[in-house]
Structure 1
Amino acid sequence: MTGNARLLIAGVVVASTLVGTLPAYALAAPPPTAQVQDQDPTRFDQDGHVVSGGRSPQGKPAKEGVTALVNAPITRSEIRRRAQSWIDARVMYDQESWYRNEFGRYRQDCSGYVSLAWGLDDSYVTWTLPPLMHRVAAADLKFGDVFWRDNMTDHSNGHIALFSHWADAAKTQPVVWEEYDYGHVASIRPWSAAYASEFIPMRYNNVIEDVAAPTPMTREGTQALEVGEAQHFFGKVGNKIRHQWWVPDHKLRDDWGGGDVAGEPTTFLFNDQQHLFYRSANGSLRHFYYIDGRPAPLDDFWANGGSITGDPTSLVIGDTQHVWAVGANGRLQHWYWAERLGAAPLHDEWPTGVTVTGRPSVFVANGQQHAFVRGTDGSLQHSFYIEGRGKLTDPWAPAGSIVSDPVALFIGDTQHVWATTANGRLQHWYWAERLSPDVITDNWASGGVVGRPSAFSVDGQQHVLVRGAGKTLEHYYYIQGRSLPDHDTWATGGVTTDPTAVTFGSQQHAFVRAEDGTLRHFYWFQGIDTTEDNWGA
């Protein structure tokens, strides 16, 4: 997932601040009825500039200062979808070729790629694009904006690239999506601050923001998040939360928390904000959240000291944030907040058959909220909320059944729970109304596993990663139609923490700590073997 990045284009090295001069007409909104001539192919240099014949990239003599009709409004998510199509297809840079897909036919160079992404009616060049865009502050750039340059005389330095995100907190090193040179495909690449400083940050006049609509999650928050191209992991290191994240060709880190962290956090993404909850040393429930553009995360308390003894878990349901944790009284506590409900989180207690301990696991099934938690007697306790009926409870496994905290998933119409047992087995419980009135159980590993499993579902398959007794990372997965789960080993040793397993798109990922405290990251997707890289301490 890492590689060497080519940071200089055409060997240019420049100063270190974003500066540039844009012709005055290009700073204004485009005239509403400006048009461009229909033209034919010809020969250009590597960024679409004419090298013979005095013609435009479409082939016929171009009228100076004439541009195309203002094109239709487009959301940033649609820009991403269109631009991603060339990344996925590995479209090769070639100014004399046009690539056609479901989004149309566009020239295979830098400005052709931006024309595709913005849904323009033709393949523009760097000097005909300015009337369609306006300048913005670099710190305000969002996905789908661009870095642009052109001297507007001989166009010898013209280039344009889609902005994705910043690779550094100072917002000087952008990661861009671009077509940039012969021999290369449409790529996601970081730029150096020096190279970026030669470009002007610009925004398409007709871009519109996506309407933020919270999407109910079908599974709980974990310690890992995907935000755009960035992959994030949050874990306890000392008395702080170490935040480590990967963007193409970069691994970064910072620390969250108030220096009072007592356990592992839970995280989720809500309206593009990163939210994190953890148990503090004095038993309070602390909440940190990051809003893009802020210099640091904000924080508040959801429960005062002495409130919880176990690590929290979380879930987003519609517009409401939910957190569960075991309270000091040995009962399952629940906090929830939505802007429409008021300024402070609300709280209630959920019933369990016995006192409970550890970290719960939660999901939503058919509009119902379900929580599973380990009883102090080793039972598997189930507590759930049904609108109109209130909070109910039933045990899924009797005393002495489990020694680890459970992990739960809702897949299709079936509720699933996994936990490890005293004899080292990976035990699986599941229930669906169509299968049986009773909970069904089977054994996925006959011995040798320890700790809390982590699970996900992809393409209808059930996947569980769990720590082996020999500090291995074991992977069990069930494919519909097979009689037993399959198994492979992702790490043969050196694993010291319970895994966090997630899917990012179609990729399967797992994170664990190594004996030296560094973060080991494993990933698999179709066509490659399980691969490991180390994200550092």
Structure 2
Amino acid sequence: MTHNRRTRLRALATLVAAGAAATFACGTPAHADSTAGGPITRSEVLTRAQSWVDAGVPYNQAGYYGGYREDCSGYVSMAWHLTSSLVTQTLPDVSTKESFSALAPGDILDYTAEHTFLFAGWTDKSTGAFKYYADSNPSDPTHGPTAGNVNNSTMEGWPTGYYDAYRYDKIVDDTPVTPHGTVWDRTRSAAGSWQSSADEIDSNGAITAVAAAALPNGTLHVETVVPGSGLWDRTRSANGTWSAATHIDTNGNITAVAAAALPDGTLHVESVVPGSGVWDRTRSASGTWASSSTHIDTNGNISAVAAAGLPDGTVHVDSLVPGAGVWDRTRSASGTWAAASTQLDDNGSISALSAAALPDGTLHVETVVPGSGVWDRTRSASGTWAAASSHIDQNGDVSSVSSAGLPDGTLHVDAVVPGSGVWDRTRSTSGSWSTATDIDSNDDIFDTFTAGLPDGSMHVGTIA
């Protein structure tokens, strides 16, 4: 049987008034890339769920919209693009039971005797908090929350112990699509004022990754990855003039990049080549690029990299190995690379990272954990890593992060939230963190860089 207490559709948007119900008596189908009863991607499941929200479909166990019954299990059947509307007891017949911890967008939570709803994604997996689409209780004039927690005593009006997690047998993960766009730069003055709008500094729309570092002479170097072409360097002079891009590495397989400046004026650019590892290319203080890169890490599973130069002339390169966490490799001031990397964070869920050095010789590594947010781990000037990371941003939607230390000893961490833009958070010299400030609301941004100049100004770049 289906749940007979749900009379309105609750989801990730506000519904139209109940008086519009008659408008939808003969509905049109939801958007479909899949075929009924066939494989369907997680993103299409959520798109189909959202389609009923956008249309304002009312709850009506006797009614049908686009061929599906207008109740909780009919809603799930529509989102999964089943051939007909199942009920709460029969949805498990086309799905497999999973643990709550394994829930992924497009899965469901099903109380077979009464109710079911769609899981839309974790907001903080460490606490059990998530987003969902569901049919809601009309007693709540706001149509209820759009978020729940598997650790709470109830969800959707029923004890959490009554629900089980299920995964549709024909759901498939989406094929990753590498986003690309042009590069934009926004400046924060030494006095703390942000430029009112960003300037486009590279109009090549094929750029997929970006990094930056500022040299002691006040110049800023921005490194961009163009798949199939390699690595390009663009310079901003101390007087604010941007140069054309220089092709510094023709390896078209590069997928990620980081940059670090040293007190002697040299610049190190780290690039990730899948299956090969991390390569280091150097620009001398006189402006000459090394003719080739140095292979500094042969781990072919590395997916992302960060780098920072310390005041003592050492370089730290931090590499992300999916499932194995973050590893730190050091280049001494004399130019010798450590023979092996040190694991500094064993959290296998980390998806992005950045690194920044402060004038006092400390090093900060920021990591992104999907569903949890941003974590900060510190290395003291004496070389000791903190035993644990500090949770500095609990927004589970953060997808990318960059960071930079300023001459006054403050640290800025800039986080990309898809659909929301870039948010800047500051750590004071006393060690306290500020709340985040929205510095760029462009919801197309997917990557960022942060660089602090010797004059105290800061540049935050984005790809959109």
TM range (shorter): 0.3 to 0.5
Larger Rg: 1
Could you tell me the TM-score, scaled by structure 1's length?
0.42
